[in-house]
Structure 1
């Protein structure tokens, strides 16, 4: 498959162990956020990133990490009311969080994702929120603090709050024709099949991202561990003969048009072994993907 394997640290119990396993398994990317692992994920990744300079890393801005509220308030980048909400995308806070992540990771992030911009945002305010965030991140790119940025969302695309054309329009407005919008991240799995079904028809978020040459990071490909229990042996055999339910579920995501990277969140050697086996095989035929979407619905 042309898709790559990466580590997503959201649900990792031991981030350092998971990162070392990801590097050993040939993963090329680690995705994290300041609020993951009770606010310790970035710090836990630093020694592994130092040992493996070939690994790329993305982090996020938006959610407040445990223990960071007081620091942000003292730095005057956060208002008391926003601190209580636990999520902030003001320009001052984004700039501060980017600087903190850079220091904690010990290197320049390759991508900084705007984290769930839909969180606590009214529909009519979404465009302005995204534009100001992009403007701030473009400034960080020009200052050499980060290499690029993107949007990581759970429901922003599926709810229609924004789409790829809008993101591209706002990025061009913020950074001109040579803007630094590089990627999107969204949940894709046999539970979240709608974007995959749309891509098979050449429309929707995955098709738009592919046309714009944006990297697509597929998060939650096993839907928090639920997929192996949802994929029956018969369905696994339909998807990929001889595969386990987890492998079949991963193969669907990894074979989807437009997907660049699948983020696996685990510190279990068996899971990495299964995932690397899937990534090393040819992509599933589009007809097979259509059968899966027909059987499971969207």
Structure 2
């Protein structure tokens, strides 16, 4: 069994919630898992407890609240009472308090004027912060698929989260990267408090990888490093994050990602890549 490495979080977005991936993760030194109240058709927490209730105490566990079941659909809400109730139900379904609860994609409900959006965000943040203070979770954070609206809403009146999770990697896009970095700066977060997600843009089979070899962004020597491994390793620098939530039901794939952590990024090539992303965005805006 390998020593624990906090840089990888096993994401359970599309997971089958099988015990073998949990035990394999522990053997590989991955002792953090991330799920959500709404994953697995709102049954993720009970499925996770059913697959490994006896080993859940060995994991650092994060989850998210913000999406709720409605008649024939899923709806998003920042209502503080609904958020508190979701955290309470998460405790019951998991059989334990999560180590971290993320406010899930708050931008989905931040319409209207900036002042109204700031008030709504602040009220929601205060709700999950209060849940942490009551012992319903160890800490709280924000998980945002599109953080672009958020930096402009953050001021000294908002509670400071323990962590922020954003999209990371070569496919995140320059505007998302800049917004993520601006948000981290607004709250004065260190890299360990900034988490990445979706390092492959949703799939390791993206056609882009047939045209771009991500190994150009890894320092030499990188013999034996696959394109998938390189893509994953580079994601830690786009933006600069301390850990990445990544999903798989295949222990061998998880092992490959753990092995990729031995390599380091090429800062010069990544700087060039970011410049090209900015130039492309500027051309498209003309």
TM-score range, shorter chain: 0.7 to 0.9
2:164 aligns with one of 157, 160, 184: 184
For structure 1, the 5+ residue unaligned runs are 70-79, 173-180
Partners of 2:162 and 2:155 lie apart in 1 by 11
Consecutive unaligned residues of structure 2, counting only runs of 5 or more, are 282-286
**What is the Cα deviation at residue 39 of structure 1?**
1.8
Q: TM-score, normalised by structure 1?
A: 0.78
Residue number in structure 1 paired with 2:284: none
Q: What is the TM-score normalised by the length of structure 2?
A: 0.80
1:26-67 CA distance string (max 9 Å, x none): 1131111111012221112225353142311111111115xx
Label 1:52 to 1:216 Cα distance change in 2 as closer, same or farther (>3 A).
Answer: same
CA contact (8 A) 1:62 1:87 kept: yes
Q: Give 3-state SS (helix, strand or coil) of 1:248's partner.
A: helix
Q: Do structure 1's residue 48 and structure 2's residue 52 form an aligned pair?
A: yes
Which residue is equivalent to 1:291? Answer: 272
Number of equivalenced pairs: 267
Cα drift, residue 290 of structure 1: 1.6
Shift of 1:246: 0.9
- For 1:73, the equivalent position in structure 2 comes to none
Aligned to 2:143: 152
Q: Runs of at least 4 residues of structure 1 off by over 4 A? A: 195-199, 206-209, 294-298
What's the counterpart of residue 224 of structure 1? 202
Say whether the 8 Å CA contact 1:206–1:259 is kept in structure 2.
no
Structure 1 equivalent of residue 189 of structure 2: 212
**Structure 1 pair 164–109 and aligned structure 2 pair: CA distance change class (3 A):** farther
Structure 2 Cα separation of the partners of residues 143 and 112 of structure 1: 13
Match of 2:158? Answer: 170
SS of 2:106 mapped into structure 1: coil
Alignment of 1:249-288 (within 5 A): 249-256=231-238, 258-279=240-261, 281-288=262-269
Q: Which has the higher contact order (CA 8 A, sep 6+)?
A: 1
Aligned-residue offset at 1:24: 2.6
Give the C-alpha shift of residue 127 in structure 1: 1.1
Per the alignment, residue 12 of structure 1 pairs with: 15
Contact 1:193 1:293 in 2 (8 A): no
| RMSD, aligned α-carbons | 3.0
| 8 A contact 2:184–2:194 mirrored in 1 | yes
